[in-house]
Amino acid sequence: MNHSFKWQGRHDGDGEAHLRLHQVVNTQQHASFAFIGFSSDEGVKRNKGRLGAADAPDMIRAQLANLPVHQPVTIADLGTVVCDNGKLEQAQAELADQVERSLKQGMKPIVLGGGHEVAFGSFSGLFQYLQNNEPDKTIGIINFDAHFDLREAEHVTSGTPFLNAARLSEQYQKTFHYLCIGVAKHSNTKVLFETADRLNCSYIYDFELQPKNVEILLEKITAFIGKVDYLYITVDLDVFSASIAPGVSAPAVKGIDLSVFDPLLEAIKETGKIKVFDVAECNPRFDLDSRTAKLAAYIIFNYIFY
């Protein structure tokens, strides 16, 4: 684990009304939330995408540091899992162990990615935790993403995490519950749709995500959530329009808007079922004015406080 990031930023005062996130991270022995970085773009490399996502965790932390604290919160930063020398599977296993450990300690892990290969590590951590503590409970995956990430490949990549999760579930005779929100027809091959259908996955197209459809969308999402005990939520930043998320491996031609995303995430959070949350595919190398890192921080801020 890498612990090199220094939480610092603007200091307006020590009173409760003046606090910013950098002033509350790692200040309490027991925390409600845990930040875990995942520094990897090995999966993106294997998937022939553009590299740079390994630099994301600290860039997101830097954007989080100055955000205001509107209500009491305790956060621990557990450091960053680093994928060295192309050892992605080892890094995913280490991330899974960190996620499981934080859950055992009563914290809600928020994982900062990194390529979307982060998803298999995050999912595996929750899966391990439940197998060891609540084996009868079920997991639902909600992935905000333009891509299914159900790709068949010889090795794990940023395009395989949910097929990897499906196979892990099958190995333990667990039903695979997966909802992908924001799927773009032009970004997924026919075989990926066939795989999604074969695995009984649920999905919502990007063109359906319009403000006028929010109530209908919430009905679909609520129906999915009703089938599971706990949720793993992952947000691939390439689901958003390239105008607000230029720094990703595969910028969206269309993408979805925050005016739809925000109420959906708020409703999902209100169920109280989220156990693990992550953001993925932030690529500082291709970002403009830190827009994508700021977007990641904004999403995390809303998850924590609203």
User: In this predicted model, what pLDDT tens digit does every residue of 194-231 receive, in sequence order?
Assistant: 999 999 999 999 999 999 999 999 999 999 999 999 99
Instruction: Identify each DSSP E strand in the chain by its residue range.
Output: 33-39, 75-82, 108-113, 139-144, 177-183, 202-205, 230-236, 274-280
Is residue 265 one of the residues assigned to a domain? Answer: yes
- What's the confidence (pLDDT) of residue 245? 97
Is residue 226 one of the residues assigned to a domain? Answer: yes
- What's the confidence (pLDDT) of residue 166? 98
- What's the confidence (pLDDT) of residue 185? 96
How many whole angstroms separate alpha carbon 64 and alpha carbon 58? 10
Report the pLDDT averaged over residues 251-262. Answer: 94
Q: Are strands 274-280 and 230-236 parallel, antiparallel or unpaired?
A: parallel
Q: What is the CATH number of the domain that holds 84?
A: 3.40.800.10
The 3-state DSSP class for residue 92 equals: helix
* Residue ranges of the binding site for Mn(2+): 116, 145, 147, 149, 236, 238
How many whole angstroms separate alpha carbon 47 and alpha carbon 32? 35
User: In this predicted model, what pLDDT tens digit does every residue of 238-248 receive, in sequence order?
Assistant: 999 999 999 99
* Residue ranges of the binding site: 116, 145, 147, 149, 236, 238
How many whole angstroms separate alpha carbon 66 and alpha carbon 81? 23
Q: Percent of the chain, pLDDT > 90?
A: 95
Domain that holds residue 271: 16-304
Report the b/e string of 45-77 with b at 16+ CB within 10 A. bbbebeebbbbbbbbbbbbbbebebeeebbbbb
Q: Is the pLDDT of residue 14 over 90?
A: no
Reported as a pLDDT band with limits 50, 70 and 90, residue 306 is confident
Whether the bond between 114 and the residue before it is cis, its omega within 30 degrees of 0, is: yes
Number of folded domains in the chain? Answer: 1
Q: Does pTM top 0.95 for this prediction?
A: yes
- What's the confidence (pLDDT) of residue 229? 98
User: In this predicted model, what pLDDT tens digit does every residue of 141-180 receive, in sequence order?
Assistant: 999 999 999 999 999 999 999 999 999 999 999 999 999 9
How many whole angstroms separate alpha carbon 52 and alpha carbon 284? 6
- What's the confidence (pLDDT) of residue 253? 86
Torsion of CA 147, 148, 154, 157, to 10 degrees: 50
How far CA 41 is from CA of 86, 158, 164, 176, 251, in Å, comes to: 9, 8, 17, 26, 16
| 8 Å CB contact between 38 and 91 | yes
Looking at residue 253, the DSSP 8-state letter turns out to be: S
Is residue 249 one of the residues assigned to a domain? Answer: yes
User: In this predicted model, what pLDDT tens digit does every residue of 33-82 receive, in sequence order?
Assistant: 999 999 999 999 999 889 999 999 999 999 999 999 999 999 999 999 99
Is residue 94 one of the residues assigned to a domain? Answer: yes
Is residue 34 one of the residues assigned to a domain? Answer: yes
**What DSSP letter does each residue of 185-207 carry, written as one string?**
GGGS-HHHHHHHHHTT-EEEEGG
Mean pLDDT score of the chain, rounded to an integer? 97
- What's the confidence (pLDDT) of residue 11? 95
- Geometric angle at alpha carbon 198, from 194 and 204, rounded to 5°: 65
- What's the confidence (pLDDT) of residue 273? 98
Q: Could you tell me the two tokens for 241?
A: 């329009």
Report the pLDDT averaged over residues 273-279. Answer: 98
